[in-house]
Structure 1
């Protein structure tokens, strides 16, 4: 026993002496040193926090290269998130000095070289969010540690400007907008130029993001400025075609913001906005979180991308040829719309309160208002066709969630997949739906018993939270998290989610313009979870039937 103890001590000492670490890394801005942690026997990780990828941005200006620094930058603490409203929309948090990124580099027996790189873009409706430290109860949701360790990839997270400071636009050259998207682009370009020094392969970069981050990933594949910077992309619950992703009347919003901050709306408006206190500007872009079926909250998400003739030279749907060589995964959670429709129609989350059929019609009328009565009639006929004569409350409430999911997420994502597959040359296309029931389903409002996967439910599994905080999850959740990390990191390595270092539970077929195959992701998944033509009847209604109806004159 004593001999075994001595051998173990010797082994531990040898590992400590030869701990694998990058040490000081040379970047284009100067030298950086991160933190090296031990994960297990002959497994270490270097973590770099708060490396600047651009200079402090000028107000409503495209970012510029960082001037660099002297000595060694101590990259061991997260920087502040970008200036934004708080979740209650009552105050602001963060800083204009926020263009930083974080890097996780796993090592085995030797220091890693030529690893695939995964760059994360967070969501939050282009209004809130961040990749800088604890999100909730000291738990950092976007820590790249589990993905990097389990998948043997480098993970990068970044900051980008939000709200008024990131997306306000006059629709012309005086204030073109898209500053948050330019920030993301500069971060990706910095990674491409510098990641080899961290042991990464600059020719094998994958973008991934969720919600507004998923739409951002899609925008980055569509802009001509990104050519050659990355090879693959994953959009979770958001694409450039979502109804909230592009503002086609930015001038009107700019004038509304100007009036809120006591600026004129004439030729001096932009100069006044640039001189306005940034926190006042940020608050002016907040929204009213109390939506209604007649005024759905998704319609308030107007601080978004603009077609500026530069970053986005045309409508997103006409730019998919720019993604012809990009391998692409896009998918949806089966009840992604719940977080929005629960605000618009609160009764769907209260089993003691009935939801009238009229609320279904009110929501559909809001989503189809440009087509008038014909739009509503066609929509209601589509969604009530399998109700029977006396639909249950569960049927009515679930239908409202399905309507929100289809309109806000699922149909635009299916359309984006079709356009990507139709324009692809070497790029491969994959489609998925996450159907794992919400962990709070039936336990407490706002989670009914029939809840599937709500918006953002995928994040905990992709980032390995069932492994990080095992007591908060069941074993089936660790299975699911392992599956998603395997598919995501295999895809980052090879462009095929089935091929890589990690085993997957079933083969995920490519999405093609004819087959429309997709994978249902679930903790119980097997080969029977491969399907075709996701919600085809509803996709056809929103993508074909409704657009071909005449516009209402009202």
Structure 2
């Protein structure tokens, strides 16, 4: 009888250990405890930097170096970084916290693996909004072959305000990402991740951020491959001019007065409530949520501390001084839907917003297409606006009837042109593989319907239609059978890309062409039930 009791006790201890050990992880800071989510484990809201509060606001992130005397609770969902978001349907669009510099880790249960490749995810949101909690990792967890790490980083004015000098050089959101990537490289093995097999993956503004990270030569020490979905550093909304003007305008709006030095401005802004600064974003919007990136990446002065970029990305690429890692870049067939669809929303007077462009085109076009601060004179801006309208609409007026033509302006100017130029420059100057695809398979419930607030107009393949089959959004469900298959194929493509020894890449039965050394740009076209190579003239 006594032997039986001992045996039962040992069995219970063994079962408890098997249940507990995957949830307990030891780091240099101490131990943390995660959560069992049936199909996967999660370890959320782990700090990688000191909270950017008080005197640390508008400063580069400082590495988190505290010790935990007790087990750290890693079961709390991550909070959004403080933001004025487009995706709140009310006048007050403020949400999130200033204390938000954390990573969240999701590890599948797969008894056939002891370690996993790692997908480090940089979320989108125009550098203004979004967060770790926005995009669901469940499809990747269901496949069971990748650890996902989501990165929180500062947004809007708290992350990207810049005076153009060493006082507030800007790009703190990008510096947050870089510190997080260093944390992942150093610590992911403790969670069963493979530090030698890390993919840095971004969508939209997150994709542009990943491309900017790639322009650091030592990025190849942090990542094996990179993937950018519908965004890159050469899109016109990414690296902008006019940051100093906007910084001092922010100071005026929040009550700092008309200051003359950057140091005075920084000291004043540090004394203000974060909520007041972020809410002031609405004063920089001229039309709905336009421009959608009033605060984003800038070229930093060379005397900035640990700058991300001190030249425009085009000049960095031309210099050849960027990381040599295999790279996949993409766009959706009608990426411009994200920006154009909101023009179809009906106003209280029953008219669509698109009709406003007939009387306000020369006023709004520079904000819509981000040349407001790159042109020296009003005459230059007007000429650019005139050229765009003539090229895409001819003598037509702006109306619902020619919405598709208007949408094409947004697709080309804000997404496609930058994608082509990025591929062209990297393939000519770089040495590592450069792959690209165009996704063309409209979802039934994409961004178009949320932004246009109507379903009586046929939509094409919009911004995020492929991405949301990797990181799901409940607003896009239920999926059709073809979308479920595409989801599996896209995730398998990423798994193989991370683990490839030679940087090769496949989608389903189609091999991606490497653009390095090619006479013409070659992309993979991914459609509902097929894939194939297309060549750009």
- Measured against the shorter chain, the TM-score band is 0.7 to 0.9
Give the distance between the partners of 1:270 and 1:333, measured in 2 at CA. Answer: 40
Is this contact kept in 2: 1:89–1:286, CA < 8 A?
no
Q: 1:23 to 1:396 in 2, by over 3 A?
A: closer
Q: Does 1:218 align with 2:211?
A: yes
Is this contact kept in 2: 1:104–1:145, CA < 8 A?
no
TM-score by length of 2: 0.82
Displacement of 1:286 after TM fit? Answer: 3.2
Q: Does 1:279 align with 2:275?
A: yes
Give the distance between the partners of 2:476 and 2:387, measured in 1 at CA. Answer: 47
Q: Does 1:231 align with 2:239?
A: no
| 1:44-90: CA deviation from partner (whole Å, max 9, x where unpaired) | x3221111111112211111122231232121121322111243462
Q: Does 1:454 align with 2:462?
A: yes
Query: Which residue number in structure 2 is paired with residue 315 of structure 1?
Result: 312
For structure 2, the 5+ residue unaligned runs are 1-13
Indicate which of 295, 302, 308 corresponds to 1:303: 295
Is this contact kept in 1: 2:354–2:400, CA < 8 A?
no
| Deviation larger for 64-73 or 213-222 | 64-73
Q: Does 1:31 align with 2:40?
A: no
Query: Which residue number in structure 1 is paired with residue 157 of structure 2?
Result: 164
Q: Does 1:508 align with 2:508?
A: no
Query: Which residue number in structure 2 is paired with residue 552 of structure 1?
Result: none
Is this contact kept in 2: 1:480–1:522, CA < 8 A?
no
2:104 is paired with a residue of what secondary structure? strand
Q: 1:322 to 1:144 in 2, by over 3 A?
A: farther
TM-score by length of 1: 0.79
Q: Does 1:340 align with 2:339?
A: yes
Give the distance between the partners of 1:335 and 1:62, measured in 2 at CA. Answer: 36
How many residues of Structure 1 are paired with residues of Structure 2 in the alignment? 491
Query: Which residue number in structure 2 is paired with residue 521 of structure 1?
Result: 526
Displacement of 1:514 after TM fit? Answer: 1.9
Is this contact kept in 2: 1:224–1:322, CA < 8 A?
yes
Is this contact kept in 2: 1:233–1:327, CA < 8 A?
yes
Give the distance between the partners of 1:351 and 1:524, measured in 2 at CA. Answer: 40
Give the distance between the partners of 2:99 and 2:353, measured in 1 at CA. Answer: 48
CA RMSD across the alignment = 3.5
2:255 is paired with a residue of what secondary structure? coil
Give the distance between the partners of 1:307 and 1:392, measured in 2 at CA. Answer: 35
Displacement of 1:232 after TM fit? Answer: 1.3
Displacement of 1:146 after TM fit? Answer: 2.3
| 1:441-474: CA deviation from partner (whole Å, max 9, x where unpaired) | 8988445543112223333211256xx9997222
2:466 is paired with a residue of what secondary structure? helix
Displacement of 1:91 after TM fit? Answer: 4.4
| 1:366-386: CA deviation from partner (whole Å, max 9, x where unpaired) | 45784466645654554358x
Q: What does 1:81-120 correspond to in 2, within 5 Å?
A: 81-86=80-85, 87=88, 88=90, 90-109=92-111, 112-113=114-115, 115-120=116-121
Give the distance between the partners of 2:269 and 2:275, measured in 1 at CA. Answer: 12
Query: Which residue number in structure 1 is paired with residue 255 of structure 2?
Result: 262
Indicate which of 51, 55, 67 corresponds to 1:56: 51
| Deviation larger for 374-383 or 220-229 | 374-383
Is this contact kept in 2: 1:224–1:311, CA < 8 A?
no
Q: 1:455 to 1:360 in 2, by over 3 A?
A: farther
Give the distance between the partners of 1:266 and 1:358, measured in 2 at CA. Answer: 37
Query: Which residue number in structure 1 is paired with residue 233 of structure 2?
Result: 240
2:120 is paired with a residue of what secondary structure? strand
Q: 1:352 to 1:121 in 2, by over 3 A?
A: same
2:180 is paired with a residue of what secondary structure? helix
Q: 1:286 to 1:89 in 2, by over 3 A?
A: farther
Query: Which residue number in structure 1 is paired with residue 124 of structure 2?
Result: 123
Give the distance between the partners of 1:381 and 1:439, measured in 2 at CA. Answer: 32
| 1:302-345: CA deviation from partner (whole Å, max 9, x where unpaired) | 20011113211211112233434111111111222122123356
1:22 is paired with a residue of what secondary structure? helix
Is this contact kept in 1: 2:256–2:265, CA < 8 A?
yes
Query: Which residue number in structure 1 is paired with residue 326 of structure 2?
Result: 327
Q: Does 1:185 align with 2:191?
A: no
Q: 1:25 to 1:111 in 2, by over 3 A?
A: farther
Q: Does 1:472 align with 2:478?
A: yes
Is this contact kept in 2: 1:335–1:405, CA < 8 A?
yes
Give the distance between the partners of 1:302 and 1:18, measured in 2 at CA. Answer: 50
Q: 1:131 to 1:218 in 2, by over 3 A?
A: same
| 1:479-509: CA deviation from partner (whole Å, max 9, x where unpaired) | 221222122222222264645xxx7142222
For structure 1, the 5+ residue unaligned runs are 1-13, 40-44, 136-141, 537-554
Query: Which residue number in structure 1 is paired with residue 535 of structure 2?
Result: 532
Q: 1:240 to 1:55 in 2, by over 3 A?
A: same
